[in-house]
Structure 1
Amino acid sequence: MMRVLVLLLCLCAAPALAQNTDQPQGTIEVEDSATQDAAIAVRIRDILSELDGYEEVTVTVSSGIVTLRGTTIDGPKADRLNDIVARVAGVVAIENEVTETTDVVARLNPAVERFQTRLTQAIALLPLAAVALCAFLVVLFAGILLARMRYPWDRIAPNAFIANIYRQIVRMVFFVSGLVIALDILGATALLGTILGAAGIVGLAIGFAVRDTVENFIASIMLSIRQPFRPNDIVEIEGDVGKVIRLTSRATILLSFDGNHIRIPNATVFKSRIVNYSTNNERRFDFEIGVASDADLDQVRTLTDRVVGELPFVLKDPAPMSWIERIGDGSVILVVTGWIDQNDTSLALAKGEGIRMVKAAIEAEGIEVPDTTYRIQMVGGAPSLEEIARPEVRPEPPKAALTVATDVEDTSKAALDRIAEAERNDPETPDLLSDNGLTE
């Protein structure tokens, strides 16, 4: 326990026992010499006279104790006096009573002198700066001329958008190269790291601020290279169906069949499920039709396949096909399909004509196409619940005569093509898609 108390006392007394490093160290001599004091004072004055900022400092020495009085321009200069005086031989102690000056002119003079010195240096560097500027402009101008050339950028790039990106990269490389050469001529290449570091921080901040725009830009590059669709293709993106007008650096523009513009961000297009209806010329239409539950379903299927196959606009290969889908309320539902060449035939008109011809053929065979609606007829008093729920019984329909299929040519296709072509020929809105580009 006693050892612990002694240790604590020593630790507490350590700061008090520490020597002041601002004062001279060593053994103090016994003899006191006025000649030595005068020599110390002269030596200190000579040193301070060679240093700037100590013109107002006075020095007196008595018995080896140096007393400093007066003013300096700032506090650090006053504190530095202790280090200077302590190195003079024979100094026993230092009394530093120097303070900062409050004279505005005295404090501004060093700043003015520094400005004049830097201005003189800048004027002296003007010829070298002119050479550095000329070197920078020459390199930059060479990069601009190289970027404006059509060859090789248009040849190695899949489209104009990518070629423009290549040109921007070339301009940036030549700009940085010119800057490095200019700074090297001036001997200030160390500034390049600071400039690039600041540019990196600013670029990172801007990148976070315009994250969606950057995402769309990158998606535009990928879409313009991969081209999942071409101009005038009919596509479905996120439930929107239309004809592709153009691909810009931010969005994909579709022309709907209603004549409206649909603008979809490229980031959405790139991540979405895309259905391209124009990739293949053949396209299938399908519809449902119900027949009476007591009908010969095999006969109905054979009949529908024959009727659809005999339509002049339906392709023989792939062949039409029908199947029983489900049993409905008082009827059996069949799905009937057929294939058309969508370049010559309207899908909507073909589907409608197929429904008309199949219905007429089924009814011509005496097979009922039931109407599942209910009719309530108020006769006399109020009907009972059983009478309300009982479906109306209709007489057997007469056999209908077969009709001839009408023209199903897509008459609106030419009009939509003209609208889309007019939109695509607008010079103020360039397109990143190409008719000759590779598609995935």
Structure 2
Amino acid sequence: MPARWLALLLLGVASVPAAATIPGLDAPAEEQAADNSPEPGSIDVEQTSGQDERIAVRLDEIFAAVPSLAEVRARVSEGVVTLEGVAPDQAAVDRAEAIAAGVDGVVTVENGIERDVSIDVGESIGGLESRVKDLLRVLPLAGFALLVALLIGAFGYLLASFTGFWRRVAPNGFLAELMIGAIKGVFVIIGIVIALDMIGAGALMGAVLGGAGVIGLALGFAMRDTVENYVASLMLSLRQPFRANDHVIIDTHEGRVIRLTSRATVLMTLDGNHLRIPNSMVFKAVILNFTRNPQRRFEFVLGVDADDDAEAARKLGKKTLAQMPFVLDDPAPEVRITEVGDSNVVLQFLGWIDQGETNWFKAKTHAIALAKEALEDAGFALPEPIYRLRFDQRTASLPFENVGEVKGERDGAPTPTPAPSPKKPKRTAVEADVSTDDEIARMVEKERASDGEQEKDLLDSGRPVE
């Protein structure tokens, strides 16, 4: 017998810590509600008189002290607790079950609590009234916070209104506009943050800033090409790679520059059409600018007969180029023998002009004509390609007397000699019109002078070209 009572005492001591932690709700309600079954050997064989009543009274007192469990009642029979009533949510239902399971002497819990899904109009109106009163109490502070935000934003707009100062600080007008817009935006954001902090809406402020960051990141990915193009516009406005009316080749596009806008570079092609190239492509492309260096070289090739003196033709061609008044002496003109073909020797003519005084296309045109006439007048032949003809066996076996018919000769009549072509009038280099008059350049200037277009141009003639 003593051994039996000792074993029961040890089991009771071992079960005390687990029960002691329940009333304080130290463990999560879900874990307590999930394990309500008694441990082996923890149920007494004999029950103390009046124990069920004491458990019921104790649970009713506890539930009455908890606002969310005020409508819950407990019935106890032989240590089995049956909970009845309503609770506002599932968490309160689980909490009531955990409290009942933690009372000493409870064998198990039957949870019959229902969730309260009814609408209490009076309580809702009372809650709304309470919120309105809270709002009225916070209105003076909110108004003062709004006034502070407006003052900070107004100071930012006042600071940004000194456009002359920012235009002097910034390298160009485009960057100045960006700085002015950034100053306005920064001061407005600072004003909003300070106002929210004054009314104690720090959590709302963090949520707004976090949401703005996420939205900005999403927009950045969605508008990646647009942002890249905008950044390229800024870099091009700082670098100034060309001037208005410059003759350029951008990647594979050739024309004269009309303007540089915040989105694209506008060219006028050599056939008079508008060409818009996105600035992101312009910034990464290879740009060939023909206008930056006033000296420009033209070149062309002519061929002389293979039996002629190629060196004499070369010297004559060089002398002819040097006598042209629009060809510069420094760098000096040059003629090179570049190739010996099947029927001719190819000469490459090289000459330099000043683009400020001479039109490149006109100079090349007249130089070709004058060089060709000089070679022909000196007796050099400019042969055409020679083709070899092969006749089949039937043509080769014709009688000798029929050969004339093959050649177009009949009855021994001589082949008619073609009439000599009239002699071309000799021209001189002095008569060549190589003026710089360029219709495309005039069209570009007219386009730039049109109303409203100058304001959109990011090209600044006051800054050096990089």
TM-score bracket, shorter-length normalisation: 0.7 to 0.9
2:432 aligned partner: 407
2:66 aligned partner: 51
Write the mapping of 1:222-237 to structure 2, written as runs, cut at 5 A.
222-237=235-250
Q: Distance in 1 between matches of 2:375 and 2:103?
A: 125
TM-aligned CA distance change 1:126 to 1:279, over 3 Å: same
What is the SS of the residue equivalent to 2:434?
coil
- Equivalent position to 2:316, from 281, 284, 303: 303
Q: Distance in 2 between matches of 1:316 and 1:143?
A: 62
Render the CA deviation track for 1:114-163: whole Å, top value 9, x for unaligned: 55444433332222221222222221222222223224321222211111
- Equivalent position to 1:194, from 196, 207, 226: 207
TM-aligned CA distance change 1:120 to 1:37, over 3 Å: farther
TM-aligned CA distance change 1:383 to 1:196, over 3 Å: farther
- Equivalent position to 1:131, from 130, 134, 144: 144
Cα distance, 1:334 vs structure 2: 0.4
1:13 aligned partner: none
Q: Distance in 1 between matches of 2:420 and 2:384?
A: 12
Cα distance, 1:383 vs structure 2: 5.5
1:14 aligned partner: none
Cα distance, 1:201 vs structure 2: 2.0
Render the CA deviation track for 1:3-46: whole Å, top value 9, x for unaligned: xxxxxxxxxxxxxxx99744789775956243x65454344333
2:253 aligned partner: 240
Q: Distance in 1 between matches of 2:384 and 2:83?
A: 119
Q: Structure 1: give runs of 5+ residues left out of the alignment.
A: 1-17, 385-392
Q: Distance in 2 between matches of 1:101 and 1:189?
A: 34
Cα distance, 1:48 vs structure 2: 2.5
Task: Work out whether 1:427 is the aligned partner of 2:441.
Answer: no
Q: Distance in 2 between matches of 1:258 and 1:185?
A: 65
Question: Retained in 2: the 8 A contact 1:246–1:424?
Answer: yes
Worse overlay, 399-408 or 218-227: 399-408
1:77 aligned partner: 92
Q: Distance in 1 between matches of 2:171 and 2:432?
A: 42
1:32 aligned partner: 48
Aligned residue type for 1:100: R
Q: Distance in 2 between matches of 1:240 and 1:37?
A: 97
Q: Distance in 1 between matches of 2:247 and 2:448?
A: 15
Cα distance, 1:358 vs structure 2: 1.1
Task: Work out whether 1:184 is the aligned partner of 2:189.
Answer: no
Cα distance, 1:63 vs structure 2: 5.2
1:438 aligned partner: 464
Q: Distance in 1 between matches of 2:419 and 2:387?
A: 15
What is the SS of the residue equivalent to 2:336?
strand
TM-aligned CA distance change 1:120 to 1:24, over 3 Å: farther
Task: Work out whether 1:370 is the aligned partner of 2:370.
Answer: no
TM-aligned CA distance change 1:20 to 1:422, over 3 Å: closer
TM-aligned CA distance change 1:351 to 1:30, over 3 Å: same
Q: Distance in 2 between matches of 1:151 and 1:399?
A: 70
Write the mapping of 1:5-404 to structure 2, written as runs, cut at 5 A.
21-22=35-36, 30=46, 32-34=48-50, 37-62=52-77, 65-88=80-103, 91=106, 93-101=108-116, 104-106=118-120, 114-372=127-385, 381-382=405-406, 402-404=426-428
Q: Distance in 2 between matches of 1:80 and 1:282?
A: 93
Q: Distance in 1 between matches of 2:369 and 2:320?
A: 11
The higher radius of gyration belongs to 2
What is the SS of the residue equivalent to 2:372?
helix
Q: Distance in 2 between matches of 1:422 and 1:352?
A: 27
Q: Distance in 1 between matches of 2:169 and 2:66?
A: 67
What is the SS of the residue equivalent to 2:266?
strand
Question: Retained in 2: the 8 A contact 1:315–1:340?
Answer: yes
Aligned residue type for 1:215: E
Q: Distance in 2 between matches of 1:162 and 1:229?
A: 18
Question: Retained in 2: the 8 A contact 1:366–1:398?
Answer: no
What is the SS of the residue equivalent to 2:163?
coil
Q: Distance in 2 between matches of 1:399 and 1:375?
A: 30
Question: Retained in 2: the 8 A contact 1:24–1:87?
Answer: no
Cα distance, 1:91 vs structure 2: 4.8
Worse overlay, 88-97 or 322-331: 88-97
TM-aligned CA distance change 1:109 to 1:381, over 3 Å: farther
Normalising by structure 2, we get a TM-score of 0.78
Q: Number of aligned residue pairs: give it.
A: 409
1:9 aligned partner: none
Question: Retained in 2: the 8 A contact 1:255–1:262?
Answer: yes
Render the CA deviation track for 1:43-89: whole Å, top value 9, x for unaligned: 43333334334444333344554432222233322221123334556
Q: Distance in 1 between matches of 2:52 and 2:132?
A: 45
What is the SS of the residue equivalent to 1:68?
strand
TM-aligned CA distance change 1:111 to 1:321, over 3 Å: farther
Render the CA deviation track for 1:243-299: whole Å, top value 9, x for unaligned: 111111111101122221111111111111111011111111111111111222222
TM-aligned CA distance change 1:179 to 1:235, over 3 Å: same
Render the CA deviation track for 1:218-240: whole Å, top value 9, x for unaligned: 21111111111111211111222
Q: Distance in 1 between matches of 2:45 and 2:161?
A: 85
Cα distance, 1:321 vs structure 2: 0.5
Q: Distance in 1 between matches of 2:370 and 2:458?
A: 45
* RMSD of Structure 2 on Structure 1 (CA): 3.3
Q: Structure 2: give runs of 5+ residues left out of the alignment.
A: 1-31, 390-402, 409-416
What is the SS of the residue equivalent to 2:382?
coil
Cα distance, 1:305 vs structure 2: 1.3
Normalising by structure 1, we get a TM-score of 0.82
Q: Distance in 2 between matches of 1:169 and 1:342?
A: 44
TM-aligned CA distance change 1:184 to 1:173, over 3 Å: same
